[in-house]
Chains A and B, each alone.
Chain A
């Protein structure tokens, strides 16, 4: 056991080192709480009742834990810890905690705890908005997803074969506290689940899982100590692509002069589905086209854009891709794109999609002063039934030249944020650019908003016309000056 732990620790360390080298942050770095390396979460809570739901309906597993927590300490407590393994910490995305009884209250503050980089158990710390009084109970709704956690087995299949995925998880929900009672529900996309772990029932209880259509239930289990793990492996049919975007660069460019906001998304997309066991056969593909059977190939991506989006384009590195359609009317603006070729498992297809829209729909001027509020979607990726995962997102909001006092707010978990200058289109000073990065985002975050406020003084609006005017004046003056010089070597003629 020990060498394994060391090996995994070394591996995770190497992975971190690699990530640092690439400059690609796969670990959440912001708002880390640094604690001594001997840290153990204080046993202040008890999980009175817990329901763990593993949803495998999409191409990334989504887990949610509904738990009733009880303060068993003598003083009011507001720090609740959730443990994950180091591997899970790297791929976990979108951890959100809210009060199940009061979902309107908003999300709780969640932070990764940094105490010992070599430990295999890492923690997220949830800060309850109000400290929980002793003996009091609260119902938490914790949800998160793992990226790149599903693996096809067999890893290579024929072009029309069905794909099966394997997912390993624990039947006991991850917890740093004693859990009195819990069960785990697994939701599959279909009823075809050829292989799964069977947990024999203890003391006359039924053996797990109990099947109910496409839903499997493990448990319920009795009291389980903190950090207990009961590995469960399932293998189920999922003949859909596993769309993985390893990098998404999104630019949002605001132009006050043009009254326009331009979006451009650059995707580095891979299909993580089972690779083809033989080479691609066009005959087979073409003959199946009419029946349109489920396939692991990405044939089409659909972008429901905001109503009023204009002039969309879909290009890749060698130019325009003509196989796209844009339906736009008063109710919808759907962009449907087809990659140049069907993207089978293991194939890549990087592309870019862009469109613009009337600025009025996104920008409002504050009634007082020179302030503006911009409200744009953080992510407007394709909306696929099987879902999409984004490993790394870099969002740039390019504000007009001279914008200042930039503030932003979003409920997407961010990694870094920074403000820089971006020079384009004859800028003298450069445009104020807000750069936000996020990692491990799944497409549930699709419609999250990003709100940016900034000041745009009147002089900054007139800056560019003035600069161009002065430049041309200078050019004419210089031309006149040079033209009136006498450079002939003939000497003055009388």
Chain B
């Protein structure tokens, strides 16, 4: 009955329209699901900017909205990296801020009173909907199956690998960059297929947008040339390839050079050389093709050999020369760490100290991609079956992204789109096969007649079929309803489990703002631990407008964004020495750190201490990185070995080393902590150790504020003593100690040589 009603809608041009509407509504639903699944954090907590980097982006966006584009472009920020400042306008990727600025002004033009914070919070989910659409377009270029695109869009919408960087509040460059990445690839494939300048130019336009949005644009800069190179090597050079690549490269490079932070890098740094090289190669190949069309083949072979050798020699010599002479920048450390995962740990502790730069653990692949990761190879295999130009792209992309995602956790993000595409290709292939395959009916004469139009030699085929016994019973194997239902239901079950997994991962792993911590009250209700904002708000309201805050660089952006106070170092780790200075101040004794703090005009020092609450991301646990980074600059003054006991343990209790106990960080973390406990029961709940009854003594700084759960402790740096004593003497006098007689401090006798 229902078939007869539905049937007219699925035929002819009405059918096309119906399918179009269906597809559109499915895509809209996918986008809605993608957005909705990213809203866990808003519903559980509030509309708040997450973590660290987003706070800077948010602050920059506010600056852009308040001061206009040109001020933003020329922004010199004297409230970070005190006293150096930062040329913020020239050292950031402005795409994200400009995007939200445009949305903000558009909404304001419609007099919709939207807060810029809400735009920033919801930008990533919004763009994830667009990413799903872009993935749909991209996949449709790869496959003729109409379901592949929809499946890929759905996967992209909910894959945790992408959600991890795009939940509501995660206002980071990746929020829009993944959409741009996928869309640029789509435009590239389109341009390559059609060979049109227009698509190439569009691709360049979005590439330019991508460059303005994320440093990961280098991935595109290398992937597209690699694709072209592979195609040329496969002997698939064509005018289409030539036109699309040259259009993209010329326009895209120009576009990318408009971003001040990128500037002349595209023609100078090694990371961009492959694009330039392939551009040159295409010209040569094009020239050779041209010559080939005019020269007899025998002479051509000789000519070609000589030509290739000459070009190779010249190009290689030139590259070496330019690199040696320094015109082309040498490879950056972050780039080396892409090839050698141990490189950073040895040479650049500051890169290694960031958790997202660590190599990926194997379970992470399954955690972030679930069933997609085992469908992925099959998808790549399917691409090999039908190896057109665009399938080559998938293969190249898959290989490159697999490698990089194994090197750095963060790059899982670039792998996710291609995994979704490949998995969708496989699944759609399977579903198409098993859902719509028709059992071949018994070969009656009428059927043969009917089929005679389509098949060229029906009678022969029919005769053959008759000849084979197995073919006489066609209703076996995959044609049975049983096999169909079992395969399809298995796949459905997998997909449902995938949805469950995605929701679970999103809800549990990726939806915490990390500024706000959640815990449960005894009655099961949610209790929010809001120490970070408590302390930041205190700083913002009750300290001088230009009070300089010294803290470890992790909290720089948050202090800038929430407390609105100048900081010494922040998450834009552009000056390693400055960070090492802070590390030295934290890891040295008070006598050493006080002059450092005075020289940097530090008013307050902020430390994070999780001992009371059992919050493991605190500064004592990060302390070794501070020591290591400081040691990198002052190997004679700060030594990592001194912070380990004789037996090589990192201890904070009674058995801590003398250097540890004297370090400013240790003292500030545990100052007055023992007063909270009855004697002999002082406990550090993170490290699970009993602390000594006698707490550390602070002379040069005084406790200014401690948040409710002691997570944030703020110390005020004391001014110089009024009567010119050193701080230790002054503090000792305050405590009512007798002044030590100087004669007692004579020390061992030393032979005077003069």
Contact = CB atoms under 8 A, between A and B. Distances in A.
Interface of A: 278-283, 286, 316-323, 340-341, 346-350, 423-427
A322 B537 contact: no
A369 B110 CA distance: 33
Interface stretch (B230-238, B425-433, B697-705): B697-705
Contacts of B48: 319-320
A350 B541 contact: yes
B19 interface: no
A317 B48 CA distance: 11
B112 A426 contact: yes
A318 B46 contact: no
Given A279-B704, A341-B537, 5 more contacts: A280-B705, A319-B533, A321-B530, A341-B708, A348-B542
Given A282-B710, A318-B537, A347-B542, A425 B113 contact: yes
Interface string B84-118: 00000000000000000000000000111100000
A279 B676 contact: no
B111 A347 contact: no
Contacts of A280: 703-706
A347 B541 CA distance: 7
Contacts of A427: 111
A323 B516 CA distance: 13
Interface string B666-680: 000000100110000
A321 to B, nearest CB: 7
B541 A348 contact: yes
B534 interface: yes
Closest CB pairs A-B (n = 7): A282-B706, A322-B528, A320-B46, A340-B534, A348-B541, A318-B562, A279-B704
A362 B710 CA distance: 45
A315 to B, nearest CB: 9
Interface string B297-325: 00000000000000000000000000000
Contacts of B706: 280-283
A198 B47 CA distance: 60
Contact of B672 (A283, A346, A426): A283
A282 B112 CA distance: 44
A279 B716 contact: yes
B540 interface: yes
Contacts of B562: 318
A279 B703 contact: yes
B113 A424 contact: yes
27 contacts: A282-B703, A282-B706, A282-B707, A282-B708, A282-B710, A283-B672, A283-B706, A317-B540, A318-B533, A318-B536, A318-B562, A319-B46, A319-B47, A319-B48, A322-B528, A340-B533, A340-B534, A340-B537, A347-B538, A347-B542, A348-B541, A348-B542, A349-B537, A350-B541, A424-B112, A424-B113, A427-B111
Contacts of A278: 702
Interface string B701-730: 011111110100000100000000000000
Nearest to A283: B675
Contacts of B111: 423-427
Contacts of B536: 318
Contact of B537 (A281, A316, A423, A425): A316
Interface string B508-541: 0000000010000000000010100110111011
Contacts of A340: 530, 533-534, 537-538
Contacts of B675: 283
A interface: dominant SS: loop
Interface of B: 45-48, 110-113, 516, 528, 530, 533-534, 536-538, 540-542, 562, 672, 675-676, 702-708, 710, 716
B564 to A, nearest CB: 9
A318 B564 CA distance: 10
Nearest to B715: A279
B interface: dominant SS: mixed
A319 B704 CA distance: 23
A279 B705 contact: yes
B703 A341 contact: no
Contact of A341 (B112, B672, B705, B716): B705
Contact of B541 (A279, A286, A349, A425): A349
B324 to A, nearest CB: 49
B702 A279 contact: yes
Contacts of B676: 283, 286
A389 to B, nearest CB: 19
B461 to A, nearest CB: 41
A377 B540 CA distance: 32
Contacts of B47: 319
B652 to A, nearest CB: 19
Contacts of B534: 340-341
Nearest to A278: B702
Nearest to A339: B537
Given A319-B48, A348-B541, A425 B530 contact: no
Given A318-B536, A322-B530, A350-B541, A281 B703 contact: yes
A23 B406 CA distance: 62
A341 B47 CA distance: 21
Nearest to A316: B537
A482 to B, nearest CB: 18
Contacts of A319: 46-48, 533
Contacts of B537: 316-318, 340-341, 349
Nearest to B541: A348
Contacts of A282: 703, 705-708, 710
B5 to A, nearest CB: 30
Nearest to A286: B676
A139 to B, nearest CB: 48
A318 B110 CA distance: 26
Contacts of B541: 347-350
A319 B537 CA distance: 10
Contacts of B708: 282, 341
B634 to A, nearest CB: 31
Contacts of A322: 516, 528, 530
A288 to B, nearest CB: 13
A14 to B, nearest CB: 24
A317 B705 CA distance: 20
B296 to A, nearest CB: 38
Contacts of B110: 426
Nearest to B113: A424
A423 B112 CA distance: 9
A396 to B, nearest CB: 14
Nearest to A320: B46
B477 to A, nearest CB: 49
A346 B708 CA distance: 20
A240 B360 CA distance: 57
A341 B113 contact: no
Nearest to B529: A322
Contacts of B707: 282, 341
Contacts of A348: 541-542
A9 B215 CA distance: 64
A341 B46 contact: no
Contacts of A286: 676
Contacts of B113: 424-425
Nearest to A319: B48
A202 B707 CA distance: 58
Contacts of A323: 530
Nearest to B703: A279
A150 B567 CA distance: 38
A108 B187 CA distance: 78
A406 to B, nearest CB: 21
Nearest to B675: A283
Nearest to B534: A340
Nearest to A430: B111
A425 B710 contact: no
A272 B348 CA distance: 51
Residue of B47, B530, B536 ringed by the most chain A CB atoms within 10 A: B530
B327 to A, nearest CB: 42
